[in-house]
């Protein structure tokens, strides 16, 4: 039986807690034993967060009964007092490195939320700590476990429809963190969370890297709308020799429009689209068909279960390598540099 803890019980942390509840109900050999957050008011029920992860059916959207867990406001105390096998690090981005390395050094396997960190150097130190400890470090790039993106990955790798000639990815929605306030509104601050480019846009940057490898260069245009924020809207062209690839993100959608995400990918012998939760394939010489849906709308359940399976079986996290997550950060930093310079081309 694996013993687990979650560090950080804000909106995303609540999502992780919900998945552990689901896994335990299903009889998976894991027990969530402890929670840690520097804000004690959360444990007293003074702050509740609505879990809104793209309407993911793999998240239990229920209020947490904190009486079921050992509660801490200091990560050092939790690591000292608990005999843990795994910890989900769901704290603000700017302390991912600190908390992850502390856990690894005490012999705990770490699943750290994306983005991995805000510098390549921080990422490398996290990887080095994992190697020195002999423990696993995986970054929560959930699209690697999102059914439609998994299907797209299979199409690309199998060559079923030939080579990719063009790809466009997008995501966006109202900044719901405005209604779920956090310490200093960290998630939109460049120095704490990296803004929209590192919060939402990074998902598609990582997917593009996972599908096609690191681009030769990037060019990004970005606009900052909210005071104190960093690129609430951005659009990037990724330079490859044999394909045209782009991704855009907008965190400023208004009213009840809701969160949207998807892609259009053209192959030599088919076009593939994913919009409004439906994935369609349009082959060159056959009838169009819709890809069967997964019972889970998101990838967070699969992500956490995969990590736990790797810990139990003592296998590497090949589907979601921390080195790949570090490379995604390097690409995002190049995008930020390009946006800072009016879209100039930045080589990688």
* Cβ-proximal residues to 132 (8 Å cutoff; 6+ apart), any chain: 104, 105
CATH number at residue 25: 3.40.50.720
Long-range CB pairs of 153-158 (<8 Å, 24+ gap) are 153/210, 153/211, 155/265, 155/267, 155/270, 155/272, 156/211, 156/212
Residue 323: inside a domain: no
Residue 224: inside a domain: yes
Q: Which of these, 30, 56, 31, lies nearest to 142 by C-alpha position? A: 56
Q: What is the pLDDT of residue 48?
A: 57
Q: What is the pLDDT of residue 182?
A: 65
With a pLDDT cut of 90, the percent of the chain lying above it is 79
Question: Does residue 308 share a domain with residue 266?
Answer: no
Q: pLDDT tens digit string along 91-114?
A: 999 999 999 999 999 999 999 999
Rounded Cα distance between 285 and 113, Å, is: 42
Q: What is the pLDDT of residue 46?
A: 57
Whether residue 115 is preceded by a cis peptide bond, meaning omega within 30 degrees of 0, is yes
The answer to whether the predicted template modeling score (pTM) of the entire model surpasses 0.75 is yes
Q: What is the pLDDT of residue 147?
A: 97
Rounded Cα distance between 327 and 347, Å, is: 14
Q: What is the pLDDT of residue 303?
A: 97
Q: What is the pLDDT of residue 65?
A: 81
Q: What is the pLDDT of residue 179?
A: 59
Question: Does residue 188 share a domain with residue 130?
Answer: no
Residue 342: inside a domain: yes
Question: Does residue 150 share a domain with residue 87?
Answer: no
Question: Does residue 30 share a domain with residue 125?
Answer: yes
Residue 59: inside a domain: yes
Question: Does residue 155 share a domain with residue 137?
Answer: no
DSSP string, 241-305: SS-EEEEEEESB--TT---EEEEEEEESSEEEEEETTEEEEEETTS--EEPPPPSSSSSHHHHHH
Asked if 120 and 325 count as a contact pair (C-beta separation under 8 A), the reply is no
Which parts of the chain have pLDDT scores under 50? 52-55
Q: What is the pLDDT of residue 54?
A: 43
Question: Does residue 202 share a domain with residue 70?
Answer: no
Q: What is the pLDDT of residue 58?
A: 53
Q: What is the pLDDT of residue 206?
A: 98
Q: What is the pLDDT of residue 264?
A: 98
Q: pLDDT tens digit string along 203-248?
A: 999 999 999 999 999 999 999 988 878 899 999 999 999 999 999 9
Residue 101: inside a domain: yes
Length of the chain equals: 348
Give the per-residue SS3 of 166-219: EEEEEEECECHHHCCCCHHHHHHCCCCCCHHHHHHHHHHHHHHHHHHCCCCEEE
Question: Does residue 237 share a domain with residue 312?
Answer: no
Residue 155: inside a domain: yes
Q: What is the pLDDT of residue 41?
A: 85
Question: Does residue 225 share a domain with residue 126?
Answer: no
* Cβ-proximal residues to 336 (8 Å cutoff; 6+ apart), any chain: 194, 197, 220, 231
Question: Does residue 280 share a domain with residue 188?
Answer: yes
Question: Does residue 256 share a domain with residue 209?
Answer: yes
Q: What is the pLDDT of residue 59?
A: 54
Tokens of 34: 């402890």
Question: DSSP strand E in 108-161: where?
Answer: 109-113, 137-140
CATH number at residue 184: 3.30.360.10
Q: What is the pLDDT of residue 258?
A: 81
Residue 63 domain boundaries: 2-142+301-317
- What is the maximal distance between C-alpha atoms in the chain? 63
Domain count, the chain: 2
DSSP string, 5-66: EEE--SHHHHHHHHHHHHHHHTT-SEEEEEEE-S-HHHHTTS------STT-TTS------G
Question: Does residue 334 share a domain with residue 185?
Answer: yes
């Amino acid at each position: 039986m694996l013993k687990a803890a979650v560090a950080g019980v804000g909106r995303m942390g609540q999502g992780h807690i919900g998945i552990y509840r689901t896994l335990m109900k299903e009889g998976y050999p894991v027990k969530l034993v402890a929670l840690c957050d520097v804000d004690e008011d959360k444990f007293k029920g003074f702050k509740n967060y609505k879990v809104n992860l793209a309407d993911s059916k793999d998240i239990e959207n229920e209020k947490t009964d904190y009486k079921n867990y050992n509660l801490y406001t200091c990560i050092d105390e939790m690591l000292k007092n608990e005999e843990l096998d795994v910890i989900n690090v769901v704290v603000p981005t700017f302390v991912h490195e600190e908390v992850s390395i502390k856990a690894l050094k005490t012999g705990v396997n770490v699943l750290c939320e994306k983005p991995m960190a805000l510098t390549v150097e921080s990422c490398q130190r996290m990887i080095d700590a994992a190697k020195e400890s002999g423990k696993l470090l995986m970054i929560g790039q959930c699209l690697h476990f999102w059914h439609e993106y998994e299907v797209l990955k299979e199409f690309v790798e199998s060559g079923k429809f030939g080579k990719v000639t063009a790809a466009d990815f997008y995501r966006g929605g109202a900044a719901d963190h405005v209604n779920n306030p956090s310490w200093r509104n960290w998630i939109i601050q460049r120095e704490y969370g990296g803004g929209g480019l590192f919060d939402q846009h990074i998902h598609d940057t990582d997917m593009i890297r996972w599908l096609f490898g690191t681009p030769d260069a990037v060019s990004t245009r970005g606009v900052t709308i909210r005071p104190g924020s960093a690129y609430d809207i951005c659009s990037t062209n990724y330079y490859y020799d044999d394909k045209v690839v782009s991704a855009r993100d907008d965190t400023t959608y208004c009213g009840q429009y809701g969160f949207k995400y998807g892609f259009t990918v053209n192959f030599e012998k088919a076009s593939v689209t994913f919009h409004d939760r439906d994935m369609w394939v349009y082959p060159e010489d056959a009838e169009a068909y819709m890809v069967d849906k997964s019972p889970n709308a998101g990838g967070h359940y699969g992500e956490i279960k995969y990590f736990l399976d790797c810990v139990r079986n003592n296998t590497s996290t090949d589907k979601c390598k921390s080195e790949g997550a570090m490379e995604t950060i390097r690409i995002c930093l190049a995008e930020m540099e390009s946006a800072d310079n009016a879209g100039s081309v930045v080589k990688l």
